[in-house]
Amino acid sequence: MLSIFAISLLALSAVGVSTRTARPTSPVVGAWYAGWHATEGFPLSSVSWKKYNTLYYSFAITTSSVDRLSLAGNNGDLLPRFVSDAHSYGVAAHVAVGGWLGSVWFSSSVATSENRTAFANTVAKFAHNYNIDGIHFDWEYPGRQGVGCNTISVDDTTNFLKFLQELRQNPIGANLTLSAAVSLAPFTDASGSPSTDVSGFAHVLDYIILRNFDVWGSLSEHVGPNAPLNDTCASSANQQGSAVSAIKAWTAAGMPVNQIVLGVDNSGHSYSVSPSAAFESGTKTLASYPAFDASKQPLGDAWDDTGSVDVCGVSHGPGGTFRFWGLIDGGFLTGEGTPADGIYYRYDECSQTPYVYNETSQVMISYDNLQSFAAKGKFIKETGLRGFTMREAAGDHLDMLLDSISSAI
Ligand SMILES: *[C@@H]1O[C@H](CO)[C@@H](O)[C@H](O)[C@H]1NC(C)=O
Ligand SMILES: *[C@@H]1O[C@H](CO)[C@@H](O)[C@H](O)[C@H]1NC(C)=O
Ligand SMILES: *[C@@H]1O[C@H](CO)[C@@H](O)[C@H](O)[C@H]1NC(C)=O
Ligand SMILES: *[C@@H]1O[C@H](CO)[C@@H](O)[C@H](O)[C@H]1NC(C)=O
């Protein structure tokens, strides 16, 4: 810990606030940088710094003590370098706090007035020590259980707001760019329903980032879009949320549209689908929302785990995630991002997302491509959203998706 601190002070004096010309950060052109992938083939030098204005180092995780955030498991020794590299390109360096595995202690950290004060100081000190421009709260999820062993309270959303208000009172916190990753439905209130008034959050957060992905997945009843742009055009059973419905819900609850950043995903989710379910009967046209065999989760790309034990001690099989480069590696797409020979393809006009299917391996994947990213970019522009943040910097192939969405905006 001491050595990390020393490096960060060095980084601070070496780069220096005065030598950097920060780029405008609106609209947000951002990506999450997954610290754990830094040593799996995506070092900091692989980041296309010139194409972004904001990067979010992921994750600093909550701990059982309000006095400490931890970078364990996320190559935290790289954080000072991340910040100085970002600053040398005029890019805002943010740190994402929490994540799926790192939200265990959020609820207890903001549960009492005493804890909120201590946790606000912890976050402010952390930001100051590492010379960070912004803190991105990725609490999954206030008032709802996430990974399975999170501390949780019906007052989470209220306490989260009080905590953010306190952080804004802190002289360091006042200057930070603050954002939160959020579900498609507004924060869960004390009754367990989506909040009807989130205007308090709009005052203390610079923006929210909609997690417009993982909408359909292994726990769904059918194959469906991972990251639907729209769902109001789908049958009512298939309206599980989308960018369109989420923006409607959040703005109705008081979040201004220009404080909403669209979270986009360059990875897809795989399912095991038999040919009889995959095709419309008697044809080779891919069916929409087919049934899948939940007992056979296909292994995803080279970064997928064959199995792991989570922070709650529960074992999981493969996740089935294919990053965009993984779809190319796996033979589903060509190097240009188009369907490979022998692969069946469908572009769903309602969700505006594509599917690919390999009949031999019986693997179907819902993902995003250049066309769907261009559609999302156009939507961001036409709706007046604050920009986009991509999961994750390491998932693209030759910046094809990044370039597609950026040029559409
Ligand atoms: C306040 O934080 C401490 C850890 O620093 C924790 O042990 C305690 O349970 C928290 N209080 C509540 C009410 O959750
Ligand atoms: C906050 O930002 C203002 C304006 O950039 C600056 O003058 C001030 O020193 C900053 N405060 C802290 C605590 O960094
Ligand atoms: C979403 O679907 C509805 C209903 O078909 C349509 O009116 C609307 O234009 C669509 N919005 C987008 C952004 O595709
Ligand atoms: C489809 O899957 C089979 C079995 O895994 C594999 O041998 C074949 O190469 C795949 N097809 C394509 C076009 O990648």
**Cα of 162 from ligand 4 centre, angstroms:** 53
What pLDDT score does 107 carry?
98
- Strands (E) in 183-255, as ranges, are 207-211
Mutate which of 210, 212, 229, 232 for ligand 3? The one with the most ligand atoms within 8 Å of its CB, which is: 232
- Read off the pLDDT of each residue in 263-268 and give the average, rounded to a whole number: 98
- Strands (E) in 215-352, as ranges, are 260-265, 267-272, 308-309, 315-316, 321-323, 344-348
Q: How far apart are CA 151 and CA 310, in angstroms?
A: 15
CB 355 within 8 A of CB 366: yes
What pLDDT score does 21 carry?
79
What pLDDT score does 23 carry?
87
Q: Residue 336 burial by CB count (10 A; 0-12/13-18/19+): exposed, middle or buried?
A: exposed
Looking at all shown ligands, the one closest to residue 107's CA atom is 1
Residue 322 has pLDDT above 90, yes or no: yes
Residue 10 has pLDDT above 60, yes or no: no
What pLDDT score does 346 carry?
98
What pLDDT score does 17 carry?
45
Strand partners of residue 58: 34, 96
The tokens of 318 are what? Answer: 């493969």
Encode pLDDT of 196-205 as tens digits.
999 999 999 9
Looking at all shown ligands, the one closest to residue 176's CA atom is 2
Residue 186 has pLDDT above 60, yes or no: yes
Does the C-beta of 362 come closer than 6 Å to ligand 4? Answer: no
Residue type, 362: Q
Query: What is the pLDDT confidence band of residue 8, given thresholds at 50, 70 and 90?
Result: very low
Total residue count of the chain as it appears in this document: 409
Residue 352 CB partners (closer than 8 Å, separation 6+) = 228, 229, 230, 371, 372, 375, 376
Reading phi first (left if > 0) and then psi (alpha if -120 to 50, else beta), residue 342 is in left
Query: What is the pLDDT confidence band of residue 307, given thresholds at 50, 70 and 90?
Result: confident
* Maximum C-alpha span of the chain: 68
Query: What is the pLDDT confidence band of residue 20, given thresholds at 50, 70 and 90?
Result: low
- Read off the pLDDT of each residue in 4-30 and give the average, rounded to a whole number: 61
Helix (H, G, I), strand (E, B) or coil at 85: helix
**Cα of 158 from ligand 1 centre, angstroms:** 17
- Going from N- to C-terminal start, the domains of the chain cover 2-266+369-408, 269-366
Q: What is the dihedral of CA 58, 62, 66, 70, to 10 degrees?
A: -60
- Read off the pLDDT of each residue in 312-317 and give the average, rounded to a whole number: 95
β-pairing verdict for 177-182 and 92-98? unpaired
Does the C-beta of 359 come closer than 6 Å to ligand 4? Answer: no
Looking at all shown ligands, the one closest to residue 151's CA atom is 1
- Read off the pLDDT of each residue in 114-140 and give the average, rounded to a whole number: 98
Q: How far apart are CA 104 and CA 327, in angstroms?
A: 32
Residue 3 has pLDDT above 90, yes or no: no
Q: pLDDT averaged over the chain? A: 95
Q: What is the dihedral of CA 179, 182, 187, 192, to 10 degrees?
A: -150
Q: How far is CA 22 from CA 132, 144, 212, in A?
A: 13, 37, 28
**Cα of 96 from ligand 2 centre, angstroms:** 22
The pocket around ligand 1, CB under 6 angstroms, is made up of 64-66, 108, 111-112, 115
Residue range 2-266+369-408 forms a domain whose CATH class is alpha beta
**Cα of 292 from ligand 3 centre, angstroms:** 27
Q: How far apart are CA 81 and CA 35, in angstroms?
A: 12
